[in-house]
A and B are shown apart, each in its own frame.
Chain A
Amino acid sequence: MRRIVRKWIPIFIAVTACLLTLGGYMFPQTQLGEYRDQLIEWAVIIGAFAFVLGLFNIVMVHGKRASSLGKGWVYSLVLLVSALASWVPPLIEGPSGKMTDKMFEYVMAPLGASLAALLVFTLTLAAFRLLRTRRSPWSLLFIVVVTLTLLGSTPIAGIEWLSDIRSWLIGVPGMAGIRGLLLGVALGTVITGLRVLLVHDRPYSEY
């Protein structure tokens, strides 16, 4: 019984949901199309519970650290206090409320944007040190492409022709490379999905 509950019922649910939803994509004009929409709507609601569960996990981890006065407990306390203070405005006012707006403008936007701005220093340093860590013709090609793309994206007076080179780089070799990548990703997605459908992968099961 235990095995049925823990192994076979989840498998049945996953395969059935997967087949019905996939059938809705294949035959959208039939009843399967409606099933697909219904199943996806359920998945969104369940996804909300999963989201809440994930948030609770963060709170629990930091709560444990703060209560045990472990290393970095002050930061965990800050995280907890800020989390406790910031969930009420969106619940009451929604995304366009005044409190929510101020919270975004004066707290989240400065912090988030500053974090994202740090990326440019990291990337530039990586480019600066590229030949130190990896010296090969590929690295040289990489540097040339990056240089042409950067200078071509905002060409200063006198080198406007770089803009055309950049457009060609993005439109022909760049597009071919990215398309190859995306096709590879899509193939990988299909294979992963089929493994779930064929019960070769059971990430939802302990068995």
Chain B
Amino acid sequence: MNPELVGVIAGTALTFFILSYLVGDNPLYRLGLHLFIGTLVGYSFGTVLREVVVRTALPGLVSRPASVGPAVLLGVLLLFKGFPRHAFVGNLSMAYLIGVGAAVAVGGALAGMLAAQVAATGRALAPASVGNLRFGLADGVMIVVGTVSTLLSFTFVRPKAQGGQEWWGRLLGGVTWVGRLFLVSALGIAFAGALTSSLSILIGRMQYLVDAFCGLAGW
């Protein structure tokens, strides 16, 4: 039998395995799911071995051992995490990973997110920016108010309303309400995006099945 044909039949069958979940949880679905995870695990393992160990670490150990050696050593130590009694040895590597990871995340958040987006929010009311918006200043104000109120709506601690501070509580409550308005809008848009995206994937799968049947039927 033609290997391509076998492949198409296998792909079609596996598609049906997973879509059979629409009827309910069943062994075919679970089989497909575990097959997918197993294939992904095996593939990922092979890729990591090739890309990092074979193509980066091993040549690096030969050509520039002082530069790559410590990383390989820490990597080997990390494997001790697989043995509960000696797991503490791997904590050295974990500490390194977490330290560098935290710094990368903080650096990205500070320089790549907070600075740029705070500045952009501030510039939303600038005349040059307002001119590009559909409703002009109203849109600019809405962007500023929406950003600030959404951020404030995540405040989990509210000061106790005592005497003269009641106005502050009310103000915060109002801001939270406005923020929720923007948040619900944003989440609605994100939900619609997720629907569109998954619908596009479903269309792709159906197209695959239609093409497969047409091919098998000789249409």
Complex formed: what's the CA distance from A180 to B175 in Å? 13
Question: B86-143: which have CB < 8 Å to A?
Answer: 88, 91-111, 113-114, 117-118, 120-121, 133-135, 139, 142-143
A187 / chain B contacts, CB cutoff of 8 Å: 109, 114
Complex formed: what's the CA distance from A51 to B81 in Å? 12
Q: Report whether A90 and B47 are in contact in the complex, using a CB–CB cutoff of 8 Å.
A: yes
Question: A33-77: which have CB < 8 Å to B?
Answer: 38-53, 55-59, 72, 74-76
Q: Report whether B36 and A45 are in contact in the complex, using a CB–CB cutoff of 8 Å.
A: no
Q: Report whether A108 and B15 are in contact in the complex, using a CB–CB cutoff of 8 Å.
A: no
Q: Report whether A178 and B186 are in contact in the complex, using a CB–CB cutoff of 8 Å.
A: yes
Q: Report whether B182 and A176 are in contact in the complex, using a CB–CB cutoff of 8 Å.
A: yes
Complex formed: what's the CA distance from A17 to B104 in Å? 10
Question: Quick one: given A153-B196, A190-B114, are A175 and B143 in contact (CB under 8 Å)?
Answer: yes
Of the candidates B95, B107, B185, the one whose C-beta lies within 8 Å of that of A22 is B107
Question: A87-140: which have CB < 8 Å to B?
Answer: 87-91, 94-95, 100, 102-103, 105-121, 123-124, 127, 138
Complex formed: what's the CA distance from A114 to B37 in Å? 13
B43 — nearest CB in chain A belongs to which residue? A86
Q: Report whether B100 and A10 are in contact in the complex, using a CB–CB cutoff of 8 Å.
A: no
How many B residues are at the interface, by size bracket? 35 or more
Of the candidates B42, B81, B154, B179, the one whose C-beta lies within 8 Å of that of A87 is B42
**B164 CB to nearest chain A CB (Å):** 29
Question: B131-186: which have CB < 8 Å to A?
Answer: 133-135, 139, 142-151, 153-154, 179-186
Question: Quick one: given A18-B100, A78-B34, A117-B198, are A85 and B42 in contact (CB under 8 Å)?
Answer: yes
Of the candidates A20, A76, A112, A146, the one whose C-beta lies within 8 Å of that of B191 is A146
**B216 CB to nearest chain A CB (Å):** 14
**A154 CB to nearest chain B CB (Å):** 8
Q: Report whether A204 and B98 are in contact in the complex, using a CB–CB cutoff of 8 Å.
A: yes
Question: Quick one: given A46-B75, A183-B117, are A117 and B202 in contact (CB under 8 Å)?
Answer: yes
Q: Does A161 contact B (CB under 8 A)?
A: no
**A18 CB to nearest chain B CB (Å):** 4
Q: Does B210 contact A (CB under 8 A)?
A: no
A205 / chain B contacts, CB cutoff of 8 Å: 91, 95
Q: Report whether A17 and B99 are in contact in the complex, using a CB–CB cutoff of 8 Å.
A: yes
Question: By DSSP majority rule, is chain B's interface helix, strand, loop, or mixed?
Answer: helix
Q: Report whether A91 and B150 are in contact in the complex, using a CB–CB cutoff of 8 Å.
A: no
Among B103, B107, B108, the one with the most A-chain Cβ atoms within 10 Å of its Cβ is B103
Q: Report whether A86 and B46 are in contact in the complex, using a CB–CB cutoff of 8 Å.
A: yes
A203 / chain B contacts, CB cutoff of 8 Å: 94, 98
B6 — nearest CB in chain A belongs to which residue? A106
Q: Report whether B10 and A106 are in contact in the complex, using a CB–CB cutoff of 8 Å.
A: yes
Can you give 23 A-B contacts (C-beta < 8 A)? A25-B103, A25-B111, A50-B78, A51-B48, A55-B45, A79-B37, A106-B8, A107-B14, A114-B205, A116-B201, A117-B198, A119-B198, A120-B195, A127-B195, A141-B181, A172-B134, A172-B146, A173-B186, A177-B182, A178-B186, A180-B179, A190-B110, A197-B103
The 5 closest A-B pairs by CB, nearest first: A176-B146, A180-B150, A177-B186, A145-B188, A82-B38
Chain B residues with a Cβ under 8 A of chain A: 7-8, 10-12, 14-15, 17-19, 21-22, 30-54, 56-57, 67-68, 70-72, 74-76, 78-79, 81-82, 88, 91-111, 113-114, 117-118, 120-121, 133-135, 139, 142-151, 153-154, 179-196, 198-199, 201-202, 204-205, 208
Extra A-B contacts (15), CB below 8 Å, given A123-B195, A189-B108: A17-B96, A17-B100, A48-B52, A75-B31, A87-B46, A103-B43, A113-B204, A114-B15, A117-B205, A142-B188, A150-B196, A173-B142, A176-B144, A177-B184, A186-B110
Chain A residues with a Cβ under 8 A of chain B: 5-6, 9-11, 13-22, 24-26, 38-53, 55-59, 72, 74-76, 78-91, 94-95, 100, 102-103, 105-121, 123-124, 127, 138, 141-146, 149-150, 153, 168-187, 189-190, 192-194, 196-197, 203-206
